[in-house]
Amino acid sequence: DVKVTQSSRYLVKRTGEKVFLECVQDMDHENMFWYRQDPGLGLRLIYFSYDVKMKEKGDIPEGYSVSREKKERFSLILESASTNQTSMYLCASSLWIRGRTGWDTEAFFGQGTRLTVV
Amino acid sequence: GENVEQHPSTLSVQEGDSAVIKCTYSDSASNYFPWYKQELGKRPQLIIDIRSNVGEKKDQRIAVTLNKTAKHFSLHITETQPEDSAVYFCAASSNDMRFGAGTRLTVKP
């Protein structure tokens, strides 16, 4: 069974704090993703990474950064937390099948971190 | 980047009826189209997926169709049951998986 584990289920942080959300997967997946989930907005891609030390901006990267020093770990960093970053954060990983064009595969999700910024 | 639009945002059906959810995508490079079901308080889980070299795929009561020319794909659930009630998300990917906004399906007994 693929396991994607997020370090915290619930977090409460103060405005201006630097916040680290950690995600670890145990299936040697190349791709890792960070999404935030808000009612009516679905899953919005913040950042993704297709290899160690590689990162790509998603649709809403402002106010966030990421780190992927090891293949199994992908960290999301809120440089200075603000109340509009209160949300559910979901990490996911997927296997990339190499080929002429390459194929993505099923993304497995972590259990989510509900972050509240006060 | 890819833009995925999903309709309807809410869908209510009677038990036993069919449900159809539709998505469109913008990036012709996308070649993988999964559908996820998310029950309340749980993580999204894959229910069916389709690749760009296939036009249709079926798994029991669930089917997905893909029209690459029109850049749209649809989820069909037949003989709906109350346990099908959940939020469903479509996604499109060519390495950067983007999701639609979700459809809340309610199946009334």
* Token code pair at residue B51: 């690749």
Share of chain B above pLDDT 70, in %: 100
DSSP character for A77?
A: E
| pLDDT tier, B78 (very low <50, low <70, confident <90, very high otherwise) | very high
pLDDT at A89: 98
The C-alpha atoms of residue A110 and residue A77 are separated, in whole angstroms, by 17
The pLDDT assigned to B4 comes to 96
Q: What is the mean pLDDT of chain A?
A: 93
Asked if the C-beta of B45 comes within 8 angstroms of chain A's C-beta atoms, the answer is yes
Would the pLDDT of B45 be above 80? yes
Which residues between 1 and 60 in chain A have a beta carbon less than 8 angstroms from any beta carbon of chain B? 31, 33, 35, 40-45, 48, 50, 56, 58-59
pLDDT of the residue at A2: 65
What are the chain B neighbours of A103 within 8 Å (beta carbons)? 31-32, 51
Residues of chain B contacting A50 with CB distance shorter than 8 Å: 95
In which residue ranges of chain A is pLDDT below 50?
Answer: none
pLDDT at B22: 98
**Does the beta-carbon distance from A40 to B49 stay under 8 Å?**
no
For residue B25, the distance in angstroms to the closest alpha carbon of chain A comes to 15
Mutation for A interface: B50, B93, B103, most A CBs within 10 A: B93
Interior/surface letters A94-113, b for 16+ CB within 10 angstroms, e for the rest: bbeeeeeeebbbbbbbbebb
Q: Could you tell me if A112 lies within 8 Å of chain B, comparing CB atoms?
A: yes
Q: In chain B, what are the helix, strand and coil shares in percent, each to the nearest 5?
A: 5, 55, 40
Q: Do A58 and B96 touch (CB under 8 A)?
A: yes
